[in-house]
Chains A and B, each alone.
Chain A
Amino acid sequence: MEKSLKKYFPLFVLPTFAAFVIGFIIPFGEGLYLSFCRFTTVDNAAWVGLSNYVRAFSDASFAYSFRFTVAFAAVSTLSINVLAFFIALALTRNIRGTNTFRTVFFMPNLIGGIVLGYIWQILINGLLSHLAQPLLALNTTAGYWGLILLMCWQQVGYMMIIYIAGLQNVPPELLEAAAIDGASPRQVLWRVKLPMVMPSVTICLFLTITNSFKLFDQNLALTGGDPNHATEMLALNIYNTFYARSGPQWKGIGQAKAVVFFILVVAIALIQLRATRSKEVQQ
Protein backbone atom coordinates (compact mmCIF):
# COMPACT_ATOMS: atom_id res chain seq x y z
CA MET A 1 0.00 0.00 0.00
CA GLU A 2 2.89 2.31 0.78
CA LYS A 3 3.92 2.28 -2.88
CA SER A 4 0.52 3.12 -4.31
CA LEU A 5 0.02 5.78 -1.67
CA LYS A 6 3.29 7.45 -2.63
CA LYS A 7 1.85 8.40 -6.01
CA TYR A 8 -0.88 10.30 -4.20
CA PHE A 9 1.57 12.72 -2.59
CA PRO A 10 0.22 15.78 -4.47
CA LEU A 11 -3.30 15.08 -3.28
CA PHE A 12 -2.64 14.10 0.32
CA VAL A 13 0.31 16.20 1.38
CA LEU A 14 0.75 19.07 -1.03
CA PRO A 15 -2.19 21.29 0.07
CA THR A 16 -1.15 21.20 3.71
CA PHE A 17 2.53 21.44 2.90
CA ALA A 18 2.07 24.40 0.54
CA ALA A 19 -0.02 26.25 3.12
CA PHE A 20 2.54 25.36 5.78
CA VAL A 21 5.32 26.82 3.61
CA ILE A 22 3.29 30.02 3.08
CA GLY A 23 2.00 30.30 6.63
CA PHE A 24 5.05 29.20 8.56
CA ILE A 25 8.27 28.29 6.78
CA ILE A 26 8.65 31.39 4.59
CA PRO A 27 7.65 33.84 7.35
CA PHE A 28 9.95 32.06 9.80
CA GLY A 29 12.95 32.03 7.45
CA GLU A 30 12.34 35.61 6.38
CA GLY A 31 11.94 36.63 10.00
CA LEU A 32 15.33 35.13 10.86
CA TYR A 33 16.97 36.88 7.90
CA LEU A 34 15.29 40.24 8.55
CA SER A 35 16.49 40.27 12.14
CA PHE A 36 19.92 41.08 10.63
CA CYS A 37 18.51 43.82 8.41
CA ARG A 38 17.24 47.36 8.50
CA PHE A 39 13.84 47.42 6.80
CA THR A 40 10.33 48.83 6.75
CA THR A 41 8.88 46.27 4.34
CA VAL A 42 10.24 42.91 3.23
CA ASP A 43 11.42 44.41 -0.07
CA ASN A 44 13.73 47.15 1.19
CA ALA A 45 15.87 45.14 3.57
CA ALA A 46 19.53 46.14 3.95
CA TRP A 47 21.98 43.90 5.78
CA VAL A 48 23.24 45.41 9.03
CA GLY A 49 24.72 42.39 10.77
CA LEU A 50 24.23 42.07 14.50
CA SER A 51 23.43 45.69 15.22
CA ASN A 52 19.69 44.99 15.70
CA TYR A 53 20.56 42.47 18.40
CA VAL A 54 22.94 44.88 20.06
CA ARG A 55 20.25 47.56 20.14
CA ALA A 56 17.59 45.09 21.28
CA PHE A 57 19.71 44.06 24.25
CA SER A 58 20.57 47.62 25.14
CA ASP A 59 16.88 48.63 25.00
CA ALA A 60 15.90 49.19 28.61
CA SER A 61 12.21 48.61 27.91
CA PHE A 62 12.98 45.14 26.58
CA ALA A 63 14.95 44.18 29.69
CA TYR A 64 12.18 45.59 31.86
CA SER A 65 9.45 43.67 30.04
CA PHE A 66 11.57 40.53 30.36
CA ARG A 67 11.74 40.93 34.14
CA PHE A 68 8.04 41.76 34.30
CA THR A 69 7.19 38.67 32.22
CA VAL A 70 9.34 36.40 34.40
CA ALA A 71 7.74 37.79 37.57
CA PHE A 72 4.31 37.29 36.02
CA ALA A 73 5.02 33.80 34.67
CA ALA A 74 6.43 32.53 37.97
CA VAL A 75 3.50 33.66 40.11
CA SER A 76 0.78 32.82 37.60
CA THR A 77 2.16 29.35 36.81
CA LEU A 78 2.41 28.49 40.48
CA SER A 79 -1.00 29.82 41.47
CA ILE A 80 -2.85 28.37 38.47
CA ASN A 81 -1.43 24.90 39.03
CA VAL A 82 -1.88 24.81 42.78
CA LEU A 83 -5.48 26.02 42.53
CA ALA A 84 -6.30 23.73 39.62
CA PHE A 85 -4.82 20.69 41.35
CA PHE A 86 -6.73 21.18 44.57
CA ILE A 87 -9.99 21.94 42.79
CA ALA A 88 -9.46 18.78 40.75
CA LEU A 89 -8.85 16.80 43.97
CA ALA A 90 -12.06 18.15 45.49
CA LEU A 91 -14.08 17.59 42.35
CA THR A 92 -13.09 13.93 42.03
CA ARG A 93 -14.66 13.04 45.38
CA ASN A 94 -18.30 12.73 44.32
CA ILE A 95 -19.39 16.03 45.79
CA ARG A 96 -22.98 16.81 44.91
CA GLY A 97 -23.05 19.21 41.97
CA THR A 98 -19.57 18.26 40.72
CA ASN A 99 -20.56 18.43 37.05
CA THR A 100 -22.04 21.91 37.39
CA PHE A 101 -18.91 23.16 39.16
CA ARG A 102 -16.66 21.71 36.48
CA THR A 103 -18.79 23.35 33.80
CA VAL A 104 -18.56 26.72 35.50
CA PHE A 105 -14.81 26.60 36.11
CA PHE A 106 -14.05 25.64 32.54
CA MET A 107 -16.25 28.25 30.88
CA PRO A 108 -13.87 31.30 30.84
CA ASN A 109 -11.47 29.35 28.59
CA LEU A 110 -13.78 29.57 25.67
CA ILE A 111 -13.94 33.36 25.74
CA GLY A 112 -11.25 35.20 23.83
CA GLY A 113 -8.44 37.09 25.54
CA ILE A 114 -9.54 40.50 24.23
CA VAL A 115 -13.06 40.13 25.62
CA LEU A 116 -11.79 38.73 28.92
CA GLY A 117 -9.37 41.61 29.25
CA TYR A 118 -12.12 44.21 28.93
CA ILE A 119 -14.47 42.44 31.30
CA TRP A 120 -11.75 42.40 33.94
CA GLN A 121 -10.72 45.95 33.24
CA ILE A 122 -14.26 47.12 34.05
CA LEU A 123 -14.36 44.92 37.16
CA ILE A 124 -10.94 45.89 38.51
CA ASN A 125 -11.40 49.59 37.79
CA GLY A 126 -14.73 49.43 39.61
CA LEU A 127 -13.06 47.82 42.60
CA LEU A 128 -10.16 50.28 42.59
CA SER A 129 -12.48 53.27 42.49
CA HIS A 130 -14.37 51.91 45.50
CA LEU A 131 -11.06 51.52 47.34
CA ALA A 132 -10.08 55.07 46.31
CA GLN A 133 -6.97 53.76 44.51
CA PRO A 134 -5.64 54.95 41.15
CA LEU A 135 -7.23 53.10 38.22
CA LEU A 136 -5.42 50.55 36.06
CA ALA A 137 -4.11 53.15 33.63
CA LEU A 138 -2.01 54.65 36.44
CA ASN A 139 -1.48 51.67 38.71
CA THR A 140 1.35 49.20 38.02
CA THR A 141 0.72 47.02 41.07
CA ALA A 142 -2.96 46.64 40.28
CA GLY A 143 -2.06 45.90 36.66
CA TYR A 144 0.30 43.12 37.68
CA TRP A 145 -2.10 41.45 40.10
CA GLY A 146 -4.99 42.06 37.74
CA LEU A 147 -3.16 40.09 35.04
CA ILE A 148 -2.48 37.27 37.49
CA LEU A 149 -6.09 37.19 38.63
CA LEU A 150 -7.33 37.23 35.06
CA MET A 151 -5.04 34.38 34.01
CA CYS A 152 -6.03 32.31 37.04
CA TRP A 153 -9.67 32.87 36.28
CA GLN A 154 -9.19 31.83 32.68
CA GLN A 155 -6.81 28.91 33.00
CA VAL A 156 -7.65 27.18 36.27
CA GLY A 157 -10.59 25.41 34.61
CA TYR A 158 -8.50 24.12 31.72
CA MET A 159 -5.77 22.75 33.96
CA MET A 160 -8.39 21.35 36.33
CA ILE A 161 -9.80 19.25 33.46
CA ILE A 162 -6.33 17.83 32.74
CA TYR A 163 -5.67 17.10 36.44
CA ILE A 164 -9.08 15.44 36.79
CA ALA A 165 -8.27 13.18 33.82
CA GLY A 166 -4.96 12.31 35.49
CA LEU A 167 -6.52 11.62 38.90
CA GLN A 168 -9.17 9.39 37.37
CA ASN A 169 -6.43 7.27 35.85
CA VAL A 170 -4.86 6.45 39.22
CA PRO A 171 -5.61 2.74 39.70
CA PRO A 172 -7.99 2.21 42.67
CA GLU A 173 -5.94 -0.85 43.76
CA LEU A 174 -3.06 1.45 44.51
CA LEU A 175 -5.17 3.64 46.78
CA GLU A 176 -6.62 0.55 48.47
CA ALA A 177 -3.17 -0.87 49.05
CA ALA A 178 -2.05 2.42 50.55
CA ALA A 179 -5.11 2.49 52.81
CA ILE A 180 -4.49 -1.09 53.98
CA ASP A 181 -0.88 -0.18 54.74
CA GLY A 182 -2.27 2.54 56.99
CA ALA A 183 -1.38 5.60 54.97
CA SER A 184 -3.01 8.81 56.14
CA PRO A 185 -4.99 10.84 53.56
CA ARG A 186 -2.11 13.31 53.44
CA GLN A 187 0.39 10.53 52.74
CA VAL A 188 -1.90 9.13 50.05
CA LEU A 189 -1.98 12.55 48.43
CA TRP A 190 1.76 13.23 48.50
CA ARG A 191 3.14 9.71 48.11
CA VAL A 192 0.60 8.07 45.80
CA LYS A 193 -1.68 10.49 43.97
CA LEU A 194 0.85 13.21 43.19
CA PRO A 195 3.54 10.89 41.77
CA MET A 196 0.89 9.14 39.71
CA VAL A 197 -0.36 12.35 38.13
CA MET A 198 3.11 13.65 37.30
CA PRO A 199 2.41 13.34 33.55
CA SER A 200 -0.51 15.75 34.00
CA VAL A 201 1.72 18.05 36.03
CA THR A 202 4.27 18.07 33.20
CA ILE A 203 1.63 19.00 30.66
CA CYS A 204 0.00 21.66 32.82
CA LEU A 205 3.29 23.29 33.77
CA PHE A 206 4.36 23.27 30.14
CA LEU A 207 1.09 24.86 29.01
CA THR A 208 0.94 27.48 31.76
CA ILE A 209 4.59 28.55 31.44
CA THR A 210 4.48 28.88 27.66
CA ASN A 211 1.06 30.58 27.80
CA SER A 212 2.36 33.05 30.37
CA PHE A 213 5.41 33.91 28.30
CA LYS A 214 3.44 34.26 25.08
CA LEU A 215 0.60 36.25 26.67
CA PHE A 216 -0.56 39.05 24.41
CA ASP A 217 -4.33 39.56 24.03
CA GLN A 218 -5.08 39.77 27.74
CA ASN A 219 -2.14 42.11 28.29
CA LEU A 220 -3.28 44.40 25.47
CA ALA A 221 -6.90 44.47 26.59
CA LEU A 222 -6.49 44.67 30.37
CA THR A 223 -3.70 47.22 30.78
CA GLY A 224 -2.39 47.94 27.28
CA GLY A 225 1.02 48.20 28.97
CA ASP A 226 -0.10 51.23 31.01
CA PRO A 227 1.07 53.12 32.96
CA ASN A 228 3.83 54.15 30.55
CA HIS A 229 4.86 50.59 29.53
CA ALA A 230 5.18 49.46 33.16
CA THR A 231 2.92 46.43 32.63
CA GLU A 232 4.17 45.63 29.15
CA MET A 233 5.09 41.99 28.70
CA LEU A 234 7.52 40.62 26.10
CA ALA A 235 4.99 39.90 23.35
CA LEU A 236 3.41 43.35 23.68
CA ASN A 237 6.83 44.99 23.83
CA ILE A 238 7.77 43.35 20.53
CA TYR A 239 4.44 44.35 19.00
CA ASN A 240 4.92 47.95 20.08
CA THR A 241 8.48 48.00 18.77
CA PHE A 242 7.12 46.98 15.39
CA TYR A 243 3.97 49.01 15.12
CA ALA A 244 3.97 51.84 17.65
CA ARG A 245 7.36 53.44 17.04
CA SER A 246 8.27 55.65 14.12
CA GLY A 247 11.68 55.45 12.49
CA PRO A 248 13.10 52.95 10.00
CA GLN A 249 15.33 51.24 12.55
CA TRP A 250 12.57 49.86 14.80
CA LYS A 251 11.21 47.04 12.66
CA GLY A 252 14.64 45.41 12.52
CA ILE A 253 15.07 45.78 16.27
CA GLY A 254 11.58 44.37 16.79
CA GLN A 255 12.42 41.35 14.62
CA ALA A 256 15.66 40.80 16.55
CA LYS A 257 13.68 40.92 19.80
CA ALA A 258 11.24 38.42 18.31
CA VAL A 259 14.09 36.00 17.56
CA VAL A 260 15.43 36.36 21.10
CA PHE A 261 11.89 35.80 22.39
CA PHE A 262 11.51 32.69 20.24
CA ILE A 263 14.78 31.21 21.51
CA LEU A 264 13.74 32.02 25.07
CA VAL A 265 10.37 30.27 24.72
CA VAL A 266 11.93 27.17 23.15
CA ALA A 267 14.65 27.02 25.81
CA ILE A 268 12.16 27.34 28.66
CA ALA A 269 9.92 24.69 27.16
CA LEU A 270 12.84 22.25 26.75
CA ILE A 271 14.29 22.81 30.22
CA GLN A 272 10.89 22.51 31.84
CA LEU A 273 9.95 19.33 29.95
CA ARG A 274 13.24 17.68 30.88
CA ALA A 275 12.97 18.71 34.53
CA THR A 276 9.49 17.32 35.11
CA ARG A 277 9.81 14.25 32.90
CA SER A 278 12.55 12.99 35.18
CA LYS A 279 10.11 13.11 38.11
CA GLU A 280 7.50 10.94 36.41
CA VAL A 281 6.99 7.39 37.58
CA GLN A 282 6.82 4.55 35.13
CA GLN A 283 3.34 3.11 34.99
Chain B
Amino acid sequence: MKQRSAVRAPGLGWTIFFSVVSALYMYPIIMVLLNSFKEENAITTEGAFQLPTAATWAGLSNYVDAIASKGFLQSLGYSLFITVSSVALILLCCSMCAWYITRVHSLLSRLIYLLCVFSMVVPFQMVMFTLSQTADRLHLNTPWNICIIYLGFGAGLAVFMFSGFMKSIPLEIEEAATIDGCNPLQVYFHVVFPILRPTMISVGVLETMWVWNDYLLPTLVLNIKAYKTIPMLIQYFRGSFGRVEMGPMMACIMLTILPIVIVYLLCQRHIIKGVVAGAVKG
Protein backbone atom coordinates (compact mmCIF):
# COMPACT_ATOMS: atom_id res chain seq x y z
CA MET B 1 0.00 0.00 0.00
CA LYS B 2 2.74 2.42 1.02
CA GLN B 3 4.62 1.68 -2.18
CA ARG B 4 1.55 2.01 -4.33
CA SER B 5 0.68 5.37 -2.92
CA ALA B 6 4.27 6.50 -3.34
CA VAL B 7 4.14 5.56 -7.00
CA ARG B 8 0.72 7.11 -7.48
CA ALA B 9 1.40 10.17 -5.34
CA PRO B 10 -0.68 12.99 -6.79
CA GLY B 11 1.66 15.50 -8.27
CA LEU B 12 1.85 19.16 -8.99
CA GLY B 13 -0.76 18.82 -11.74
CA TRP B 14 -3.53 18.34 -9.21
CA THR B 15 -2.37 21.30 -7.16
CA ILE B 16 -2.42 23.53 -10.23
CA PHE B 17 -5.81 22.17 -11.28
CA PHE B 18 -7.37 22.83 -7.89
CA SER B 19 -5.72 26.25 -7.65
CA VAL B 20 -7.43 27.27 -10.87
CA VAL B 21 -10.76 25.80 -9.72
CA SER B 22 -10.44 27.57 -6.36
CA ALA B 23 -9.75 30.88 -8.07
CA LEU B 24 -12.86 30.40 -10.23
CA TYR B 25 -14.77 29.42 -7.11
CA MET B 26 -13.90 32.68 -5.42
CA TYR B 27 -14.61 34.74 -8.52
CA PRO B 28 -18.26 35.68 -7.76
CA ILE B 29 -17.17 37.27 -4.50
CA ILE B 30 -14.16 38.99 -6.06
CA MET B 31 -16.44 40.32 -8.79
CA VAL B 32 -18.71 41.97 -6.19
CA LEU B 33 -15.65 43.33 -4.38
CA LEU B 34 -14.33 44.96 -7.57
CA ASN B 35 -17.73 46.39 -8.44
CA SER B 36 -18.13 47.84 -4.99
CA PHE B 37 -15.27 50.25 -5.77
CA LYS B 38 -16.83 51.52 -9.00
CA GLU B 39 -18.84 54.64 -9.68
CA GLU B 40 -22.59 54.10 -9.71
CA ASN B 41 -23.00 54.56 -13.48
CA ALA B 42 -20.12 52.17 -14.22
CA ILE B 43 -21.88 49.23 -12.57
CA THR B 44 -23.91 47.91 -15.47
CA THR B 45 -25.13 44.50 -16.49
CA GLU B 46 -22.64 44.19 -19.33
CA GLY B 47 -19.81 45.83 -17.39
CA ALA B 48 -20.01 43.48 -14.40
CA PHE B 49 -16.72 41.80 -15.32
CA GLN B 50 -14.73 44.95 -16.04
CA LEU B 51 -12.10 46.01 -13.56
CA PRO B 52 -12.47 49.46 -12.08
CA THR B 53 -10.40 52.00 -14.01
CA ALA B 54 -9.14 55.44 -13.05
CA ALA B 55 -12.26 56.94 -14.60
CA THR B 56 -14.72 54.67 -12.79
CA TRP B 57 -12.92 54.34 -9.44
CA ALA B 58 -15.19 55.43 -6.60
CA GLY B 59 -12.95 54.63 -3.67
CA LEU B 60 -14.85 53.90 -0.49
CA SER B 61 -17.77 56.20 -1.29
CA ASN B 62 -20.18 53.29 -1.79
CA TYR B 63 -19.25 51.95 1.62
CA VAL B 64 -19.72 55.35 3.21
CA ASP B 65 -23.13 55.62 1.57
CA ALA B 66 -24.16 52.13 2.68
CA ILE B 67 -23.23 52.85 6.27
CA ALA B 68 -24.36 56.48 6.44
CA SER B 69 -27.66 56.52 4.60
CA LYS B 70 -28.79 52.95 3.95
CA GLY B 71 -28.95 51.87 7.57
CA PHE B 72 -26.35 49.14 7.36
CA LEU B 73 -25.11 49.62 10.91
CA GLN B 74 -28.59 49.37 12.44
CA SER B 75 -29.19 46.15 10.52
CA LEU B 76 -25.83 44.79 11.61
CA GLY B 77 -26.79 45.61 15.20
CA TYR B 78 -30.17 43.86 14.94
CA SER B 79 -28.65 40.83 13.25
CA LEU B 80 -25.92 40.59 15.87
CA PHE B 81 -28.31 40.98 18.78
CA ILE B 82 -30.86 38.50 17.45
CA THR B 83 -28.21 35.92 16.60
CA VAL B 84 -26.32 36.16 19.88
CA SER B 85 -29.42 36.17 22.09
CA SER B 86 -31.13 33.35 20.18
CA VAL B 87 -28.10 31.09 20.04
CA ALA B 88 -27.23 31.66 23.71
CA LEU B 89 -30.80 30.88 24.71
CA ILE B 90 -30.92 27.80 22.50
CA LEU B 91 -27.63 26.43 23.87
CA LEU B 92 -28.58 26.91 27.51
CA CYS B 93 -32.24 25.88 27.45
CA CYS B 94 -31.96 23.03 24.95
CA SER B 95 -28.96 21.41 26.63
CA MET B 96 -30.81 21.48 29.96
CA CYS B 97 -33.91 20.07 28.36
CA ALA B 98 -31.91 17.39 26.56
CA TRP B 99 -30.19 16.35 29.79
CA TYR B 100 -33.53 16.00 31.54
CA ILE B 101 -35.15 13.94 28.82
CA THR B 102 -32.16 11.58 28.49
CA ARG B 103 -31.91 11.04 32.27
CA VAL B 104 -35.59 10.90 33.19
CA HIS B 105 -37.26 8.02 31.40
CA SER B 106 -40.88 8.97 31.14
CA LEU B 107 -43.54 9.10 28.50
CA LEU B 108 -43.26 12.88 28.40
CA SER B 109 -39.51 12.71 27.77
CA ARG B 110 -40.05 10.31 24.91
CA LEU B 111 -42.80 12.52 23.49
CA ILE B 112 -40.67 15.67 23.61
CA TYR B 113 -37.82 13.87 21.88
CA LEU B 114 -40.05 12.56 19.10
CA LEU B 115 -41.67 15.96 18.58
CA CYS B 116 -38.24 17.54 18.29
CA VAL B 117 -37.15 15.06 15.63
CA PHE B 118 -40.43 15.57 13.82
CA SER B 119 -40.07 19.36 13.84
CA MET B 120 -36.75 19.13 12.01
CA VAL B 121 -38.40 17.75 8.86
CA VAL B 122 -41.32 20.19 8.72
CA PRO B 123 -40.78 22.86 6.06
CA PHE B 124 -41.10 26.44 7.27
CA GLN B 125 -43.91 27.23 4.81
CA MET B 126 -46.16 24.87 6.77
CA VAL B 127 -46.08 27.13 9.83
CA MET B 128 -45.02 30.51 8.44
CA PHE B 129 -48.41 32.22 8.51
CA THR B 130 -49.63 30.84 11.83
CA LEU B 131 -46.21 31.38 13.43
CA SER B 132 -46.18 35.06 12.50
CA GLN B 133 -49.73 35.46 13.82
CA THR B 134 -48.85 33.68 17.07
CA ALA B 135 -45.81 35.94 17.44
CA ASP B 136 -48.02 39.00 16.94
CA ARG B 137 -50.60 37.84 19.48
CA LEU B 138 -47.94 37.23 22.12
CA HIS B 139 -46.03 40.40 21.19
CA LEU B 140 -42.91 38.40 20.39
CA ASN B 141 -42.39 40.56 17.31
CA THR B 142 -39.44 42.77 18.20
CA PRO B 143 -35.72 42.04 17.89
CA TRP B 144 -35.54 41.99 21.70
CA ASN B 145 -37.74 38.93 22.15
CA ILE B 146 -37.78 37.17 18.80
CA CYS B 147 -35.18 34.87 20.38
CA ILE B 148 -38.08 33.02 22.04
CA ILE B 149 -39.47 32.17 18.62
CA TYR B 150 -36.02 31.04 17.53
CA LEU B 151 -35.71 28.92 20.68
CA GLY B 152 -39.00 27.24 19.82
CA PHE B 153 -38.25 26.68 16.16
CA GLY B 154 -34.56 25.81 16.68
CA ALA B 155 -35.17 23.47 19.60
CA GLY B 156 -35.61 20.42 17.38
CA LEU B 157 -32.07 20.23 16.05
CA ALA B 158 -30.46 21.34 19.32
CA VAL B 159 -32.31 18.92 21.60
CA PHE B 160 -31.73 16.12 19.10
CA MET B 161 -27.98 16.73 18.90
CA PHE B 162 -27.52 17.25 22.64
CA SER B 163 -29.47 14.09 23.49
CA GLY B 164 -27.40 12.12 21.03
CA PHE B 165 -24.26 13.20 22.81
CA MET B 166 -25.60 12.85 26.38
CA LYS B 167 -26.31 9.17 25.84
CA SER B 168 -22.55 8.66 25.59
CA ILE B 169 -21.71 10.41 28.89
CA PRO B 170 -21.19 7.79 31.62
CA LEU B 171 -23.80 8.06 34.35
CA GLU B 172 -21.28 7.29 37.10
CA ILE B 173 -19.79 10.79 37.08
CA GLU B 174 -23.17 12.36 37.68
CA GLU B 175 -24.07 9.78 40.32
CA ALA B 176 -20.82 10.44 42.15
CA ALA B 177 -21.60 14.16 42.19
CA THR B 178 -25.10 13.43 43.52
CA ILE B 179 -23.70 11.25 46.31
CA ASP B 180 -21.32 14.07 47.17
CA GLY B 181 -24.39 16.20 47.82
CA CYS B 182 -24.93 18.12 44.62
CA ASN B 183 -28.48 18.94 43.63
CA PRO B 184 -29.40 18.43 39.97
CA LEU B 185 -28.75 22.07 39.17
CA GLN B 186 -25.23 21.84 40.57
CA VAL B 187 -24.63 18.52 38.82
CA TYR B 188 -25.67 20.10 35.57
CA PHE B 189 -23.56 23.24 35.81
CA HIS B 190 -20.49 21.75 37.47
CA VAL B 191 -20.34 18.35 35.80
CA VAL B 192 -22.45 18.07 32.65
CA PHE B 193 -21.99 21.56 31.24
CA PRO B 194 -18.17 21.35 31.00
CA ILE B 195 -18.34 17.93 29.33
CA LEU B 196 -20.76 19.35 26.77
CA ARG B 197 -18.38 22.02 25.48
CA PRO B 198 -17.52 20.37 22.13
CA THR B 199 -21.20 19.69 21.40
CA MET B 200 -22.08 23.24 22.46
CA ILE B 201 -19.66 24.52 19.83
CA SER B 202 -21.11 22.24 17.13
CA VAL B 203 -24.72 23.15 17.89
CA GLY B 204 -23.74 26.80 18.28
CA VAL B 205 -22.13 26.83 14.84
CA LEU B 206 -25.13 25.26 13.12
CA GLU B 207 -27.68 27.48 14.87
CA THR B 208 -25.61 30.62 14.23
CA MET B 209 -25.38 29.83 10.52
CA TRP B 210 -29.15 29.43 10.48
CA VAL B 211 -30.22 32.48 12.51
CA TRP B 212 -27.68 34.89 10.99
CA ASN B 213 -28.73 34.08 7.44
CA ASP B 214 -32.43 33.55 8.05
CA TYR B 215 -34.58 35.74 5.88
CA LEU B 216 -38.19 34.60 5.88
CA LEU B 217 -38.84 34.21 9.61
CA PRO B 218 -37.72 37.71 10.64
CA THR B 219 -39.43 39.19 7.57
CA LEU B 220 -42.77 37.72 8.60
CA VAL B 221 -42.41 38.27 12.33
CA LEU B 222 -40.72 41.68 12.62
CA ASN B 223 -42.16 44.98 11.46
CA ILE B 224 -40.03 45.54 8.38
CA LYS B 225 -40.40 49.33 8.52
CA ALA B 226 -38.89 49.49 11.99
CA TYR B 227 -36.44 46.61 12.12
CA LYS B 228 -34.40 45.11 9.31
CA THR B 229 -31.85 42.35 9.78
CA ILE B 230 -29.07 42.17 7.19
CA PRO B 231 -30.79 39.69 4.83
CA MET B 232 -33.96 41.80 5.07
CA LEU B 233 -32.00 44.95 4.28
CA ILE B 234 -30.48 43.44 1.16
CA GLN B 235 -33.84 42.20 -0.07
CA TYR B 236 -35.48 45.56 0.81
CA PHE B 237 -32.80 47.37 -1.16
CA ARG B 238 -34.09 45.98 -4.38
CA GLY B 239 -37.74 46.71 -3.94
CA SER B 240 -37.95 49.97 -2.13
CA PHE B 241 -35.45 52.59 -3.17
CA GLY B 242 -36.94 52.99 -6.64
CA ARG B 243 -34.10 52.30 -9.05
CA VAL B 244 -31.67 49.93 -7.36
CA GLU B 245 -28.54 51.80 -6.33
CA MET B 246 -25.99 49.22 -7.35
CA GLY B 247 -22.96 50.86 -5.73
CA PRO B 248 -24.21 50.85 -2.11
CA MET B 249 -25.80 47.46 -2.79
CA MET B 250 -22.43 45.97 -3.70
CA ALA B 251 -20.88 47.62 -0.66
CA CYS B 252 -23.61 46.17 1.56
CA ILE B 253 -23.03 42.69 0.16
CA MET B 254 -19.30 42.99 0.83
CA LEU B 255 -19.90 44.33 4.35
CA THR B 256 -22.16 41.33 4.96
CA ILE B 257 -19.70 38.79 3.66
CA LEU B 258 -16.58 40.23 5.25
CA PRO B 259 -17.35 39.48 8.93
CA ILE B 260 -18.50 35.99 7.96
CA VAL B 261 -15.24 35.29 6.14
CA ILE B 262 -13.15 36.61 9.02
CA VAL B 263 -15.01 34.54 11.61
CA TYR B 264 -14.76 31.52 9.33
CA LEU B 265 -11.01 31.84 8.87
CA LEU B 266 -10.54 32.24 12.63
CA CYS B 267 -12.78 29.38 13.75
CA GLN B 268 -12.56 27.12 10.73
CA ARG B 269 -11.76 24.00 12.73
CA HIS B 270 -14.78 24.39 14.98
CA ILE B 271 -17.10 25.17 12.10
CA ILE B 272 -16.03 22.13 10.10
CA LYS B 273 -16.30 19.93 13.19
CA GLY B 274 -19.75 21.31 13.87
CA VAL B 275 -20.91 20.50 10.36
CA VAL B 276 -19.55 16.95 10.51
CA ALA B 277 -21.07 16.34 13.97
CA GLY B 278 -24.41 17.71 12.82
CA ALA B 279 -24.37 15.49 9.76
CA VAL B 280 -23.46 12.33 11.62
CA LYS B 281 -26.23 12.88 14.13
CA GLY B 282 -28.68 13.84 11.41
Chain A interface residues toward B at CB < 8 A: 1-2, 4-6, 8-9, 11-13, 15-17, 19-28, 30-31, 34, 41-42, 90-91, 93-97, 100-115, 118-120, 122-123, 125-126, 129-130, 135, 153, 158, 161-162, 165, 172, 175-176, 179, 185, 200, 203-204, 206-207, 210, 213-214, 216-217, 220-221, 234-235, 238-239, 242, 251, 254-255, 258-259, 261-262, 265-266, 269
Contacts and interface: CB of A to CB of B under 8 A. Distances in A.
B261 A107 contact: yes
Given A1-B174, A5-B100, A118 B1 contact: no
Given A15-B96, A90-B18, A259-B126, 9 more contacts: A1-B103, A12-B97, A13-B100, A22-B149, A23-B153, A30-B130, A111-B257, A217-B215, A251-B129
A68 to B, nearest CB: 16
Nearest to A104: B22
B137 to A, nearest CB: 8
Interface in B252-282: 253, 256-257, 260-261, 264-265, 268, 271-272, 275-276, 279-280, 282
A165 B276 contact: yes
Given A13-B97, A16-B96, A105-B22, A96 B126 contact: no
Contact of A16 (B9, B93, B260): B93
Contact of B231 (A2, A31, A112, A235): A112
B46 A41 contact: no
Contacts of B122: 24, 28, 262, 265-266
B148 interface: yes
A113 B97 contact: no
Interface string B13-43: 0110011011001101101100100000000
Contacts of B124: 214, 216, 235
Given A123-B31, A175-B1, A269 B253 contact: no
A234 B123 CA distance: 11
Interface string B107-124: 000001001100101111
Contacts of A261: 123, 125-126
B84 interface: no
A8 B128 CA distance: 33
A255 B129 contact: yes
B96 A11 contact: yes
B197 interface: no
Given A106-B272, A111-B257, A161-B275, A22 B152 contact: yes
A27 B155 contact: no
A18 to B, nearest CB: 8
Interface of B: 1, 4, 8-10, 12, 14-15, 18-19, 21-22, 25-26, 28-29, 31-32, 35, 45-49, 93-94, 96-97, 99-101, 103-106, 112, 115-116, 119, 121-131, 133-134, 137-138, 140, 148-153, 155-156, 159, 174-175, 178, 183-185, 187-188, 209, 212-216, 230-231, 234-235, 238, 249, 253, 256-257, 260-261, 264-265, 268, 271-272, 275-276, 279-280, 282
Contact of B32 (A30, A94, A100, A119): A119
A8 B185 contact: yes
A29 B15 CA distance: 54
B172 to A, nearest CB: 11
A114 B215 contact: yes
A151 B232 CA distance: 21
